[in-house]
Chain A
């Protein structure tokens, strides 16, 4: 439908018709409103998620300074249980390394990789989704075919192939996760752009002669933010699971400690030393859980009608 209307509006703009509403204002901007924030803070689960995440980030950032055992150093007899030793409160792994130090130190890798991967997912997904949704037509079909193609590749397997073909490092791992995880974001962005692009304020921006680039960036995008913020939060959780899975399979950066890697390395001994796999796993679990809780809380706060669904 839009082509005819758009042409009509272009003509109107050429004739110097001034639109009523201001262009570029873009309805309610991307900054979460006071009401959204109030709803979010009232949600106990979401607040618990924030507290959990702050705790984990604090542990990761400040932990190594307070508790200075090196996670890669051998500190005691291998496979000692938790509570038996002063120098390794959560026990030691199969080489005698401190499990607690690993849990504290492993967070850096997981969170960094997840953040880099999520950033990449957002850049790819939002660009493709925005172009497809805004321009429509053949570009939309072509980009959506491309997205479909990435959706049929089993994500972890594809990421594994990418990391295995190149050398595992923080960069290649983030890159691989980014490459496999963006289609969901592209679809959400496209749907939002499709919904928004013919609304009045976008049309008026177009009518005063704003360029497509400006409309995409300043008018449509800020209004598409709420679902994207929710997905970005959930993507962080997914990225952490991906990183953990790859590291568990031995495709982690060999120069760093990570939770998934600890579980993978201790896989042969988990029946004799449950603590060496249980604690790193709990760390992954709580990190992902915190992102899920925050994501759900944001979702409910942006869309109070959908609460509990």
Chain B
């Protein structure tokens, strides 16, 4: 068990290293000389300045040396500087990380909880109108572009119902105290999180329905029923635990897609997270920030996958046992 966890962590570290190399590669295959890019905006065709920048950024050294020094710098948390803000990329990202984590976490919690509930409810009565409705909703949810769903919700809530804020994550004056602060962010969070959560709600309900249908047909469920357990207990205690395993797997696998969705949702709602930062960086041609966001997001996905794998062994003791007998 410990050994397999260690191996899993080593694998994650390997992936992180690979992402660093990719980032380095992307910087280098970009058309154009990075030195000209740095100098470019300030309008200098000055060869001396170019030379100085090259030495300053180490662009005159061999590629492999540059790669090693890049990896070394990234490992110590140095992602370079933003040309636009003239600030370190790390500090910019640190500032924007929290809103993204909050948005993605809320959307995911909502999607998993509601999706599993819908899936279980519809699996118990597979031919009911509710069940067919959920199938249709899953298809619809999957087919809507997430940024458009967001815009439609904004139109609905801003011009028709006027219930919720539609931009940013804070009002200009949200009152004094921590509670007012939290409530204000929470209010701003509802629509973006709902938008992002809806697609995954659709997918998780479909997935948990399928796996629940399968589990409910298994022998041990029949045994549980035969020995006279109440239906509720059979479904929610015995069957559910096995039925959520595929959902957990998919959360890990889809975390990258979730972050991609967050990127679009943040752009629609002006949510000050990493996605919004990436979008703005493209407009500003601020490549180091863009690549920094790519790196940090990939690390987030790797960590999420690692956590899912560990969560697995808690939910499903068979995985633990199998590994123990192998070692």
Which residues from chain A sit less than 8 Å from chain B, CB to CB?
Answer: 145, 148-149, 151-158, 160-161, 164-166, 237, 241, 244-245, 248-251, 260, 263, 267, 270-271, 274, 277-278, 281, 284-286, 288-289, 292-293, 296, 308-309
Contact = CB atoms under 8 A, between A and B. Distances in A.
Interface string B132-165: 0001000110111111100110110011000000
A251 B282 contact: yes
Interface in B4-18: 14-15, 18
A278 B152 contact: yes
Given A164-B282, A248-B147, A285-B140, 13 more contacts: A149-B19, A152-B15, A154-B294, A154-B301, A245-B145, A245-B146, A248-B267, A263-B145, A263-B148, A274-B159, A285-B145, A289-B139, A309-B214
A157 B297 contact: yes
Contacts of B14: 145
Q: Please classify the interface of chain B as helix (H, G, I), strand (E, B), loop, or mixed, using the class held by over half of its residues.
A: helix
A214 to B, nearest CB: 34
Given A281-B145, A308-B126, A154 B139 contact: no
18 contacts: A152-B256, A154-B259, A160-B278, A165-B26, A165-B29, A166-B31, A237-B142, A245-B145, A245-B146, A245-B147, A249-B263, A260-B145, A271-B158, A274-B159, A277-B148, A281-B145, A281-B151, A285-B140
A34 to B, nearest CB: 27
Nearest to A159: B260
Contacts of A263: 145, 147-148, 151
B269 to A, nearest CB: 11
A155 B256 CA distance: 7
Contacts of A241: 145
Contact of A151 (B210, B253, B283): B253
A157 B279 CA distance: 9
B15 A270 contact: no
Given A161-B290, A164-B290, A293-B139, A152 B298 contact: yes
Contacts of A308: 126, 135
Given A157-B294, A263-B147, A270 B213 contact: no
A128 B293 CA distance: 28
A153 B301 contact: yes
B302 interface: yes
A6 B29 CA distance: 44
A160 B297 CA distance: 13
A307 to B, nearest CB: 11
A115 to B, nearest CB: 18
A288 B278 contact: no
Q: Please classify the interface of chain A as helix (H, G, I), strand (E, B), loop, or mixed, using the class held by over half of its residues.
A: helix
Contact of B283 (A152, A250, A292): A250
Given A161-B291, A309-B213, A154 B298 contact: yes
Given A149-B18, A245-B145, A245-B147, A250 B260 contact: no
Nearest to A158: B294
Contacts of B263: 154, 156-157, 160, 249
Contacts of B268: 267
A157 B147 contact: no
Contact of A157 (B126, B145, B210, B278): B278
A160 B145 CA distance: 16
A249 B282 contact: yes
Contacts of A153: 19, 22, 256, 294, 298, 301
B298 A244 contact: no
B264 interface: yes
B205 interface: no
Contact of B259 (A157, A245, A288, A292): A157
Contacts of A249: 263-264, 267, 279, 282
A188 B203 CA distance: 19
A278 B153 CA distance: 11
A165 B30 contact: yes
A188 to B, nearest CB: 13
A292 B139 contact: yes
Contacts of A288: 142-145
B90 interface: no
B55 to A, nearest CB: 24
B151 A267 contact: yes
B148 to A, nearest CB: 4
Contacts of B130: none
A142 B45 CA distance: 46
Contacts of A244: 145, 147-148
Contact of A161 (B31, B143, B294): B294
Given A158-B294, A289-B143, A250 B282 contact: yes
Contacts of B145: 241, 244-245, 248, 260, 263, 281, 284-285, 288
B305 interface: yes
A237 B268 CA distance: 22
Contacts of B15: 148-149, 152
Residue in B145, B159, B268 with the greatest tally of chain A CB atoms within 10 Å: B145
Please give me the 10 A-B residue pairs with the lowest Cβ-Cβ distance, nearest first. Answer: A156-B260, A281-B148, A289-B143, A288-B143, A154-B256, A154-B259, A309-B210, A152-B301, A164-B282, A154-B297
A309 B215 CA distance: 12
A152 B213 contact: no
Contact of B144 (A161, A248, A285, A293): A285
A81 to B, nearest CB: 14
A270 B210 contact: no
Contacts of A164: 282, 287, 290
B257 interface: yes
B198 to A, nearest CB: 13
